[in-house]
Structure 1
Amino acid sequence: MFLLPILIFFILAFALTYFMRAYALKKNIIDNPNERSSHSVPTPRGGGVAVVCSYLLALTGLIYSQQLPVHTSLTLIAAGFVIALLGFLDDHGHINSMLRLAIHFLVAIGVVMSLGGFAEVTVFNSLELGFIANIIAVLFLVWLLNLYNFMDGINGIASVEAITTTVSMAILYAILNTSINSDILWLLAACVFGFLLWNFPKAKIFMGDACSGFLGLTLGILALIALKENLALFCAWIICLGVFVVDATYTLIKRVLSGYKMYDAHRSHSYQILSRKWGSHTPVTLAVAAINLLWLLPLAYYTVTQPLAYPEFMVLVAYLPLILIAMKLKAGHPDA
């Protein structure tokens, strides 16, 4: 019977994207290509608002039907709404980057406090992090929120990453029979898929900051909720998000070490370099899907189903080939 809500919210997101496209065209909210862009045709943006509205409504429905703890849903709704609103305002007019980052930190701190903190987390089998775990959790949310914005640069890639990650983790939740309700994952995948049909393989509308930041934060919160269950499950989330985490992190570090500012616009992520080499966005996005499902998902499955002394080690195993790819493509290099 749960297939019906999935279908309903998929259709809702699809329909709302149509209206957001009409709104963007009417208000001239257009992303015009420049020397830093990965697209060549002026395209309306902000379509991801449909995903945000659909998913927030879905979470509200889960509260009403008592299928999800009220506290969990309200944390996702409140934090997601603030970040989506901030992104929406930024899509309509520039917001100072430092003010935007300050709000990101305030939201992340609020989320960590709402989830009860993570001082009890132990890593590498015996190392107790204490209060430092809360600081790491805040930095994790802020970084995932921003890296998702950085990685939303070609048709379909941000949507495919969200769909494959949530579906992968929903499958693992089912296999493990965890206490965490996987409905929130399936519903998010359905909402994002409704938008994806407007954005891939040819983009009729772009996602926009309102949704990219929302997705990054939401996935981060879901990963932290899993951390409350056990460390291996959290490591599985980090593994499934590997393509985005590695590409964004490696590129940023490389650029900062080369003397560039963190927020300078560029086209030197691995996925951007590949899209130029291959002459199309489509094979790159499909390659991301393939890596997620054929490499990262099996490793995440192994991580949560085997009694590993150090599940953190599997994150390194998953990331190493991705790091080598980024190095091979010279991600972050000014001439890439």
Structure 2
Amino acid sequence: MDLIAAVPVLIAAVISITATAGLANRRWPVLQVLDQPNARSLHARPVPRSGGLAVLTGWLVALLLISVLVGLRPELAWLALAVMLVAAVSYWDDRHDLSTRTRLLVHLLAAGLLWLGGLRWDLLGLPGPLVPLPQWLALALTLLYLTWMINLYNFMDGMDGLAGTMSAVGFGALAWLGLAGGDLLYATTCAAVAAAAAGFLTGNLPPARIFLGDVGSSSLGLLAGGLTLWGASAELFPLWVGWLVFSPFIVDATWTLLRRAFRRERFWEAHRSHHYQRLVLAGWGHRRTLGWAAVLITAVAASALAAVDMTTAEQWQLIGAWGLVYLLIHLRVGLAERLQRG
């Protein structure tokens, strides 16, 4: 990465670290929102959940510098606008509890803004020939994908350090792919998110002193969806590679949703059914669960970086291999629960 372009990335990390410390130590009471423990929580004491403000402040300041030092494209402006919309409404939700319908409408509106900005799922996106999608289907898939990414990131942000680790490694991998493809603006934008997320981890590793809150998790979910679409539309990588990068979250959240829906449970309500939650409750604890999650996240990211240079047959083999790994993880979680019950 160009040394000048690295400046915004460094600043994103510094601002995030500083703001995380201030919010964790409750230096700015007007911004504080406390996460009270409940039957579905994995923590036992009230913890500030405004850490997403630190991540977003670091990234947005970096974005201003990036636009000056590297340049500005419409995609970046639309992405920033959509993220600020989701962040503002999510922060309000952290403080006042909005209805599910209101949140969903805002998420769809943010997804629509990215569509207007050219960030679209308009190709099939699987290994092999790229197949253009009809306009109506592309719009529907784009809205569905972005809305699901916003929400699944929120669902997966339930354990100390997990969302921060996924973001630091995941967006770091996207930055690497952007740099390899010669797109400095894209690479720097992704690297700034990764740096801000890494800065937040200084207060979020177990035992966490601060949580992301909806303002952080929802915004990072939109960034994950938007930046994978941007990378695919810029032909830096096929869309499925972006899915692979974030598959530790996508697979767990999607599998859990389908499982709960099949059981006719209220899948839209908070719960403790995700794999990471089940492992913590089975006696693994936050540190052990996060350690193995970090191994998985890093391995997936490394394979995604290698995937862009593979043949189509090798790419399908890679997808199949990871499918098997995720099946084994599911079985291992069930075994951990049975061992815990004796």
TM-score above 0.5: yes
- Hey, what does 1:247 align to over in structure 2? 252
1:3, CA displacement in angstroms?
Answer: 4.1
State how 1:102-181 maps to structure 2 within 5 Å. Answer: 102-115=105-118, 117-119=120-122, 123=126, 124-125=128-129, 127-131=131-135, 132-178=137-183, 181=186
How high is the sequence identity, in percent, across the aligned residues? Answer: 27
Inter-partner Cα distance in structure 2 for 1:318 and 1:155: 25
Contiguous gaps of at least 5 residues in structure 1: none
1:317, CA displacement in angstroms?
Answer: 3.5
1:280, CA displacement in angstroms?
Answer: 1.8
- Out of 166-175 and 193-202, give the one that drifted further: 166-175
2:84 corresponds to which of 78, 81, 85: 81
State how 1:23-34 maps to structure 2 within 5 Å. Answer: 29-34=33-38
1:229, CA displacement in angstroms?
Answer: 2.7
State how 1:235-274 maps to structure 2 within 5 Å. Answer: 235-274=240-279
Q: For 2:67, give the aligned amino acid.
A: I
State how 1:89-100 maps to structure 2 within 5 Å. Answer: 89-100=92-103
Q: Does 1:7 align with 2:10?
A: yes
Q: For 1:234, give the aligned amino acid.
A: L
Closer, same or farther in 2 for the Cα pair 1:257/1:34, shift >3 Å?
Answer: same
1:89, CA displacement in angstroms?
Answer: 0.3
Inter-partner Cα distance in structure 2 for 1:218 and 1:272: 24
8 Å Cα contact 2:121/2:141 also seen in 1: no
- Hey, what does 2:62 align to over in structure 1? 58
1:110, CA displacement in angstroms?
Answer: 1.8
8 Å Cα contact 1:33/1:41 also seen in 2: yes
8 Å Cα contact 1:155/1:200 also seen in 2: yes
8 Å Cα contact 1:60/1:73 also seen in 2: no
Inter-partner Cα distance in structure 1 for 2:28 and 2:268: 26
1:27, CA displacement in angstroms?
Answer: 6.9
8 Å Cα contact 2:9/2:195 also seen in 1: yes
Count of residue pairs brought into register by the alignment: 332
1:252, CA displacement in angstroms?
Answer: 0.5
Closer, same or farther in 2 for the Cα pair 1:238/1:315, shift >3 Å?
Answer: farther
The TM-score normalised by the length of structure 2 is 0.88
Inter-partner Cα distance in structure 2 for 1:148 and 1:164: 14
The TM-score normalised by the length of structure 1 is 0.90
Closer, same or farther in 2 for the Cα pair 1:136/1:14, shift >3 Å?
Answer: same
1:45-95 Cα shifts (integer Å, max 9, x gaps): 111111112211211221122x14331221121000000111100110110
Inter-partner Cα distance in structure 2 for 1:329 and 1:137: 32
8 Å Cα contact 1:104/1:142 also seen in 2: yes
8 Å Cα contact 1:120/1:128 also seen in 2: yes
1:249, CA displacement in angstroms?
Answer: 0.3
2:53 corresponds to which of 49, 53, 63: 49
Q: Does 1:189 align with 2:194?
A: yes
Inter-partner Cα distance in structure 1 for 2:198 and 2:45: 23
2:43 corresponds to which of 18, 39, 58: 39
Q: Does 1:219 align with 2:224?
A: yes
Closer, same or farther in 2 for the Cα pair 1:319/1:68, shift >3 Å?
Answer: farther
Inter-partner Cα distance in structure 2 for 1:45 and 1:225: 29
1:275, CA displacement in angstroms?
Answer: 1.5
- Out of 52-61 and 224-233, give the one that drifted further: 224-233
State how 1:286-325 maps to structure 2 within 5 Å. Answer: 286-294=291-299, 296-308=300-312, 311=315, 314-325=318-329
Inter-partner Cα distance in structure 2 for 1:5 and 1:116: 23
1:282-322 Cα shifts (integer Å, max 9, x gaps): 2212212211222x123213320124269566444323311
Contiguous gaps of at least 5 residues in structure 2: none
